[in-house]
Structure 1
Amino acid sequence: MAFEVIPAVDMRNGKCVQLVQGVPGSEMVSLDDPVAVAKDWISQGAKTLHLIDLDGAIEGTRQNAPLIEKIVEECRPMGVEIQVGGGIRSFEDAAGLLELGVDRVILSTAAIRNPELVKQLADSFGSEHVNVALDSKNGKISIEGWKKQSEHTAVEMGTRFESLGAGSLLFTNIDTEGLMQGVSTGPTEKLVNSVSIPVIASGGVTSLEDLLAIRKTGASAVVVGSALYTGKFTLTEAINTISENL
């Protein structure tokens, strides 16, 4: 499986935003039309879209659900895969998205609180449609839009969720997320080496060299947000860098 660069479309209050370390009010980017943003990423070569409802993640209510539905409706026929997270708190929430045509649901808080939900979804829809987000700060998993910290490590929960049927993991290093100061690959590599399912990395990508560093960890893909939105490099440049450095 080729390493993939996945652009993020993070939504808050109906806009496409980029927050610094997930903190509300820290928006460094705010664009009015997330649907147009998603289509632009496809035009630049995106094979997968990463959609996050930040209101859902932070407040627990999926306020951007209509926008996500519109993106799925208009972009799915363009040949991309779509993964969605943020505020998915129940089996019904996840099932509704999968039935809508989303390729993967990303569970975070709900999975940490009720790990059996992962098994229920994997049994009902297939492991390949279930991703669990492990958002790590100071070595421990954060939940509820990063407002609360659990006592669990990424490796501990990653191995558990793999055994419950998760088809992939999304590992975000909160310590570097949104700071535009580069990646820290150690935690990602440690998780990759502890599981046999794909790990998608996120957090801190600032340069094209960061992409190559993440690939060396063994991660299957990397989600990029702030670096793309602030013009550090384009998605096309990122894709070309990966293909030229095989």
Structure 2
Amino acid sequence: MVSQDFILFPAIDVLGGRCVRLYQGDYEQRTEYNQHPAAVAQQWCEAGARFLHVVDLDGAKDGASINAATIEDIVRTARSYGASVQVGGGIRNRDAIARWLDLGVERVVLGTVSRDIEQMAQFASEFGGRRIVAGLDGRGGKLAVTGWLEQTNTPIVDLAHELAKVGVLHALVTDVDRDGTGQGANLQLARSVQEAGLWSIASGGISGRDDILAAKAAGLAGAVVGKALYDGKFDLRSVMQELAVKGDGV
């Protein structure tokens, strides 16, 4: 695998058109941070973010988006700063992928459909492996799908190995039990996925600067930060500058 620069992804989770965060993926345990997600995108881009991670929580749960207009606004805002966006949540077929990419999204994250190796191979072939991210989220090393509401017995690392063979390049790796807890990302799981052949972006539980730097030190492709950022646990601008000094974060 050719080395890649580490990317820090501020997360914008959209539920009912608003910017929220969930605790361990529980839709009943949510905190609303802003009624205008595009304004949040502007804030993170002004702090130096070059790539945003956007989750359509309604889409993840129901398989259909009611937040397309809101996310379009985020994409337009990011692009005005020269930043990119990856979007996940309820993207389960070719038309949905094409629709997001046509709107200017750089990458799409596919979670529920990631179990279908043949389908993922087709997506990687048609749209390019660099634009397809496998959402490998789960508990106890096993995949969780349908907005994390359905727990499967599929080993995440085994799935990563199969996806790498069909042209997928990146994986977003989330330990659901750590999401929103500030306990630190499951770097061991993310490293195992990377060793299986996919560039790994660690997500879930990152508490601040030290966890971000630990993900970078582990050799991962990136990290997603959400609750810690919204709760003011660290200064995004200073961390982005620190990463830029090392040639990363872009």
Identify the range of structure 1 (9-18 vs 55-64) with the bigger mean alpha-carbon deviation.
55-64
Deviation at 1:26, TM superposition (A): 1.0
**Does residue 1:11 correspond to 2:14, yes or no?**
yes
Mapped partners of 1:104, 1:87: distance in 2: 14
The answer to whether the 8 Å contact 1:158/1:191 transfers is yes
The answer to whether the 8 Å contact 2:138/2:156 transfers is yes
The answer to whether the 8 Å contact 1:5/1:238 transfers is no
**Does residue 1:111 correspond to 2:114, yes or no?**
yes
Deviation at 1:160, TM superposition (A): 1.0
The answer to whether the 8 Å contact 2:8/2:49 transfers is yes
The answer to whether the 8 Å contact 1:91/1:117 transfers is no
Name the residue aligned to 2:208: 207
**Does residue 1:159 correspond to 2:161, yes or no?**
yes
SS in 1 for 2:108: strand
Mapped partners of 1:96, 1:85: distance in 2: 13
Name the residue aligned to 1:131: 133
SS in 1 for 2:120: helix
Mapped partners of 2:100, 2:244: distance in 1: 32
In the alignment, residue 151 of structure 2 is paired with which amino acid? Q
Mapped partners of 1:74, 1:242: distance in 2: 23
In the alignment, residue 114 of structure 2 is paired with which amino acid? A
Q: How does 1:88-103 map to 2 (within 5 A)?
A: 88-103=91-106
**For structure 1, which runs of at least 5 residues remain unmatched after alignment?**
none
The answer to whether the 8 Å contact 1:7/1:225 transfers is yes
Deviation at 1:65, TM superposition (A): 1.1
The answer to whether the 8 Å contact 1:105/1:131 transfers is yes
Deviation at 1:36, TM superposition (A): 0.6
Mapped partners of 2:234, 2:98: distance in 1: 36
Higher-strand-fraction structure: 2
Name the residue aligned to 1:26: 29
Name the residue aligned to 1:236: 237
Root mean square deviation, CA, Å? 1.6
Name the residue aligned to 2:79: 76
Deviation at 1:175, TM superposition (A): 2.1
The answer to whether the 8 Å contact 2:187/2:202 transfers is no
Q: After TM superposition, where is structure 1 displaced by more than 3 Å over at least 4 residues in a row?
A: 240-246
SS in 1 for 2:134: strand
Mapped partners of 2:164, 2:105: distance in 1: 21
The answer to whether the 8 Å contact 1:192/1:217 transfers is no
The answer to whether the 8 Å contact 2:15/2:67 transfers is yes
The answer to whether the 8 Å contact 2:106/2:131 transfers is yes
Give TM-score scaled by structure 2 length: 0.92
The answer to whether the 8 Å contact 1:14/1:32 transfers is yes
CA offsets per residue over residues 73-97 of structure 1, 9 Å max, x none?
Answer: 3322321111011011211101111
The partner residue of 1:59 within 50, 57, 62 is 62
In the alignment, residue 150 of structure 2 is paired with which amino acid? K
**For structure 2, which runs of at least 5 residues remain unmatched after alignment?**
none
The answer to whether the 8 Å contact 1:85/1:106 transfers is yes
Name the residue aligned to 1:227: 228
The partner residue of 1:47 within 34, 50, 58 is 50
Identity of aligned residues (%): 36
Mapped partners of 2:163, 2:186: distance in 1: 23
